[in-house]
């Protein structure tokens, strides 16, 4: 079962195959939670969105058509929920970094490696700086970057998810990368 493609699995889900659902859940629950959390910085809402995305996908399994990949279709559902959440709260200006720091939600996700505590601390600071910079990007640029580099979609797939032309998506990604590099440039010591 686990060697089947997403598209084959969702077809089985349409027939009520429970084990096919389980495989898709194991593949996407964490990724959807991560996707929502990188946008919203709010664990409870993000978990809610991840769950709703999967439930809606299974509910609509019978209507899935292979014009888009399952992954694109799934992230379209998730992206719309995230966008709706932004509208609902009118982007409560709560920075992603402050949420992560306050709740320590990403802290337990440290990889189990043999780095020293100092290296781990430096890595954590670098990570916080990175996501602070991502959080400061315009909303569409941030989504394009997350979909491109964390989710791994190509421009055409992102254009389907975000409902924007591919060329526009490409320019968002370019702009965002330049902005991120600029804001993460090390400050020169003048002492």
Partner 1 sequence: MVSYVLGDLTEDMARACQAHLDRCANCRETVASFDNLISAIASEPETMPSAFESAALAAALAQFHVHRSAVAPALQEFSGFVLASVAAFAVVATVVALQSLGVVSVVSVVTAVGPAALALTVVAVIFISSFLPIAVTARRRPLNGMTFRG
| Binding test (CB under 8 A) with partner 1, winner from 4, 47, 68, 164 | 47
Longest dimension (CA), the chain: 68
HSE-CB at 64 with a 13 A cutoff on CA atoms is: 27
**Smallest distance, Å, CB 5 to partner 1?**
20
Chain centroid to Cα 45, Å, comes to 13
**By CB neighbour count within 10 A (0-12 exposed, 13-18 middle, 19+ buried), where does 177 fall?**
middle
Residue with Cβ nearer partner 1 (9 or 106): 106
Q: Does 7 bind partner 1 (CB under 8 A)?
A: no
| Binding test (CB under 8 A) with partner 1, winner from 1, 7, 16, 66 | 16
Residue with Cβ nearer partner 1 (94 or 170): 170
Is 116:162 a contact under the CB 8 Å cutoff?
no
Q: Does 55 bind partner 1 (CB under 8 A)?
A: yes
Token representation of residue 126: 């670098």
Question: What b/e readout covers 99-127, taking b as 16+ CB neighbours within 10 angstroms?
Answer: bbeeeeebeeeeeeeeeeeeeeeeeeeee
Site string for partner 1, 81-100 (x = CB under 8 A): x--xx--x------------
The span from the CA of 14 to the CA of 63, in Å, is: 9
Site string for partner 1, 134-153 (x = CB under 8 A): x----------xx--xx-x-
| Rounded CA Rg of the chain | 18
The span from the CA of 140 to the CA of 172, in Å, is: 7
| Binding test (CB under 8 A) with partner 1, winner from 9, 39, 58, 169 | 58
**Smallest distance, Å, CB 180 to partner 1?**
6
Q: Does 119 bind partner 1 (CB under 8 A)?
A: no
Return residues touching partner 1 (CB under 8 A).
Answer: 16, 18, 21, 25, 29-31, 33-34, 37, 47-52, 54-56, 58-59, 80-81, 84-85, 88, 105-106, 109-111, 126-127, 130-131, 134, 145-146, 149-150, 152, 170, 173-174, 177-178, 180-181, 184
């Amino acid at each position: 079962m686990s060697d089947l493609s997403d598209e084959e699995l969702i077809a089985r889900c349409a027939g009520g195959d429970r084990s096919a659902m389980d495989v898709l859940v194991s593949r996407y629950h964490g990724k959807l939670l991560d996707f929502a959390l990188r946008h919203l910085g709010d664990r409870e809402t993000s978990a809610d969105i991840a769950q709703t995305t999967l439930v809606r996908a299974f509910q609509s399994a019978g209507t899935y058509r292979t014009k888009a990949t399952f992954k694109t279709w799934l992230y379209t559902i998730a992206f719309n929920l995230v966008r709706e959440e932004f509208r609902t709260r009118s982007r409560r200006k709560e920075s992603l970094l402050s949420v992560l720091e306050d709740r320590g939600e990403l802290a337990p996700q440290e990889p189990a490696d043999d780095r020293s505590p100092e290296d781990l601390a430096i890595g954590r600071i670098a990570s916080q700086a990175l996501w602070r910079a991502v959080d400061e990007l315009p909303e569409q640029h941030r989504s394009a970057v997350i979909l491109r580099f964390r989710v791994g979609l190509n421009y055409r797939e992102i254009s389907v998810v975000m409902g924007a032309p591919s060329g526009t998506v490409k320019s968002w990604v370019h702009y965002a990368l330049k902005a991120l590099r600029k804001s993460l440039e090390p400050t020169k010591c003048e002492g």
